Structure 1
Amino acid sequence: MIGLSPAEWSALKLTLWLALSTTGLLLLLCIPLAGWLALGRSRVRAMVEVLVALPLVLPPTVLGFYLLLLLGPRGPVGQAAAALGLGPLVFSFKGLLIGSMLYSLPFAVQPLLDGFRSMRRELLDTAASLGAGPIERFFRVVLPLSRPAVLSAALLSFAHTLGEFGVVLMIGGNIAGETRVMSIAIYDAVEAFDFAEAHRLSAWLLGLAMVCLLAIQTLRRRQQARDGGTDQ
């Protein structure tokens, strides 16, 4: 890979795979979750929203510490995984994936919530009058019309996962080829006073983050233009 050594390329591949895996799994989880939060009527929705948003204000090391206790060999989740033959969760890619999903959860849920809640109610009422049930209305009306929100959630989750440090360091450590992602590689390079390597790795992450943010801005401008045309 241009500008990267084999070890640096390994860290980049692992980071991209972690970001893609986290994004895909979060979309599968968060689309129905955001739909329930936006359109459901349960009294516990407010508390669930608070729990979902908690990683936004919680220090990453705090989240990583409690995950370490839960996923470790003496933790309930770690013991259950061992009993099922899934192997250790801490200091493994599986542990990184769990931590990344929890830490990036609000970045996936919030754009979806905004998109679902902006849905015009008369569209849902019309679908209901034609005999569509709640699930059918969601998948045939809400979800197709919320495509920009889904794309924004995917891009934000991907971009946020690229820069994770505290959580992945706490539960993944620094194992080359297994848990050594780009952010940890940058930290190692700075500690070793290898600023040339730190610059190379940082430039790659900066470029990827800028591409994601430019894509999000483009989606928002198109959505605003579409909404403006609809209002007229």
Structure 2
Amino acid sequence: MTRILTTIGFDADDTLWQNERFFRLTQERFAELLADYVDGDHLYDRLLAAERRNLGHYGFGIKGFILSMIETAIEVTDEQVPAGVISELIAAGQDMLQHPIELLPHAREAVVEIAESHRVLLITKGDLLHQERKLAQSGLGELFDGVEIVSSKTPAVYTEIFSRHANGASEAMMVGNSMRSDVKPAIEAGGWGVYVPHDLTWEIEHDDAPEDDPRFRALEHLGGLPALVREIG
């Protein structure tokens, strides 16, 4: 019998392990440090605007986040931000880079089970060294047939990856918590897109679900993924 799916791609941050939670905690500390200059809601809006502007310069990840916070701090204080605040932001970024990996529920079980019957890939955005460190600490590295750390996730990127690692996107599925980066572009490339929500998802990754597309699926958690893969075939 011809198999419909041969390759399953997994996102990493907030799909297999916690990530956004540490960004939110650092943002709270950021607001405390600048409470004398601007209220929290306005500060978050300014920071998000800076992050959007800087994606093309710094890419995704903690280093770009810290630089965006420093830039925002300079802006909202009219260049009067104390050096001590800058030092604390740099230290916060260093702490984030060293934070231990915490796998999300069902992550290991799902990857292990699916790896027994399908080619499995890790496809993630972010800083190369940091993502490699997180993968090594996760204990999942040896389960993947391939690891792709990319600067962006577009239909063209998925087409290229699934062409190298599989027989094209039509036989592939991408699983992740970002509708914008994991689900919709994989479907646009001709593959399947599976949305697994996380309680905290960066605003930039939000998008409408392609509810009417026959290759879109949504799960409550990764525990339901093996059954879905078997169902599709």
**What is the TM-score normalised by the length of structure 1?**
0.29
Which structure has the bigger radius of gyration? 1
Give the strand-richer structure, 1 or 2: 2
